[in-house]
Structure 1
Amino acid sequence: MDTADRLATEARWLTLTREILPAAASARRWPVQADHCFQRIFLDNACEGVWYDRISLRPAYAHADRVILDQALALAEAALAGEADLADLNRRSLAWRRQRKARSAQSQLPI
């Protein structure tokens, strides 16, 4: 992805997740309304797990590789078009996060 294409993709990502999707959330009865929740949902699903296990720097969208960013953006576009179930994507994201938290808690148990 050349620099101009990357900047355009990031700009679309920010417009969708910070403006368009939050504005549509109430009317569509989506389970989230905050911009960071939309970003979490789409990035987690693009990563097939908690995004910060695959993207070490923040902001995540700026440091995601092309495949992850393109997949996250495609999911956001699909949710906006009614072609992806945002509630289901959210449930998957939250399940991955619960699993990660449980693994982390287990690893901190005294021996």
Structure 2
Amino acid sequence: MDRDALVSHWFELTRERMPALASERGWPVRFDHCFQRILLDNAVGAKWSDHIASPAYKNAPVRVLQDAIDIGEACAAGRAELAAFNRLSLEWRGKL
């Protein structure tokens, strides 16, 4: 998948699908920027902004963007727990 297609997928996933699923799934977040934080942090394995210049969708390596999308797709499909990824993200950010 080329970068433009990945970015389109990224925004559709984090701005539309995941927020629409939030209340149905009982997820701890509901806003697009929260989903983006969680997915990017987990794709990087740390606070993403310590490793990628903002805006991430323009500056993240393609592999990181694809990994973030894969995590989001797994959560959306019910194959992974968003709450667990959120906890990791918050730990990396010193919020827990």
TM-score bracket, normalised by the shorter chain, equals over 0.9
2:57, 2:46 → 1: CA distance?
Answer: 15
> Gaps spanning 5+ residues in structure 2: where?
none
- Flag the structure with larger Rg: 1
The total of aligned residue pairs comes to: 95
For 1:87 and 1:61, the matched residues in 2 are separated by 23
TM value normalised by structure 2: 0.95
State how far apart, in whole Å, the 2-side matches of 1:77 and 1:92 are: 18
Q: Work out whether 1:51 is the aligned partner of 2:39.
A: no
Give the alignment partner of residue 80 of structure 1, picking from 53, 67, 76.
76
Q: Which has the higher contact order (CA 8 A, sep 6+)?
A: 2
Please show how residues 1-111 of structure 1 align to structure 2 within 5 Å. Answer: 5-56=2-53, 58-98=54-94
TM-score (norm 1): 0.82
Structure 1 gaps of 5+ residues are 100-111
